[in-house]
Chain A
Amino acid sequence: DGGITQSPKYLFRKEGQNVTLSCEQNLNHDAMYWYRQDPGQGLRLIYYSQIVNDFQKGDIAEGYSVSREKKESFPLTVTSAQKNPTAFYLCASSIQLGQRYEQYFGPGTRLTVT
Chain B
Amino acid sequence: AQSVTQLGSHVSVSEGALVLLRCNYSSSVPPYLFWYVQYPNQGLQLLLKYTTGATLVKGINGFEAEFKKSETSFHLTKPSAHMSDAAEYFCAVSGANQAGTALIFGKGTTLSVSS
Interface residues of A (CB under 8 A from B): 4, 6, 9, 31, 33, 40-45, 48, 50, 56, 58-59, 88, 90, 92, 94, 97-108, 110
- Contact residues of B: prevailing secondary structure: loop
Interface residues of B (CB under 8 A from A): 9, 32, 34, 36, 41-46, 49, 51, 90, 94-95, 97, 99-103, 105-108
CA of A30 to CA of B85, assembled, Å: 32
Residues of A within 8 A of B41 (CB): 9, 88, 108, 110
**Contact yes or no, A42 B107, CB < 8 A:** yes
**Contact yes or no, A106 B43, CB < 8 A:** yes
Residues of B within 8 A of A103 (CB): 46, 103
**Contact yes or no, B99 A104, CB < 8 A:** no
Task: Select B107's contact among A4, A41, A59, A105, beta carbons within 8 Å.
Answer: A41
